[in-house]
Amino acid sequence: MTQQQHRMLEVINRNTIRLRSLIEDVMALSRIEGGISRAGFVGVSVQQPIVRAGEELSPLAHGKYVKLEVEHGPGAAIVLGD
């Protein structure tokens, strides 16, 4: 397997994981709206997903001669979620 094929498989894997997560979120929302489940909100860190998104978009930005920087500190990017 070439390096390019390996990179493409990694992209496919990441996108598959994201798609599965979206499907699970839609199913959970459906259960909440149907009264089957209730949301219990807590503080959730979104720092890691933001950093990953920056890493994944960086090559695209670089290709357009755009500088993409993700700045974060300890305890940053806390949102309410369940």
| DSSP notation for 50-64 | HHHHHHHHHHHHHHT
**Contact of 26 with 65, CB cutoff 8 Å:** no
**Contact of 47 with 77, CB cutoff 8 Å:** yes
CB within 8 Å of 46: residues ≥ 6 apart? 77, 78, 79
**Of the listed ranges 9-13, 45-49, 53-57, 77-81, the one predicted with least confidence:** 77-81
pLDDT band at 10, cuts 50/70/90?
Answer: very high
Which DSSP category does 75 fall into? T
Query: Does the predicted model carry a pTM greater than 0.75?
Result: no
**Statement: residue 75 has pLDDT above 80:** no
3-state helix, strand, coil in the chain (%, to 5): 60, 10, 30
pLDDT tens-digit readout, 14-55: 999 999 999 999 998 898 888 887 767 888 888 888 889 999
First to last CA, the chain: 40
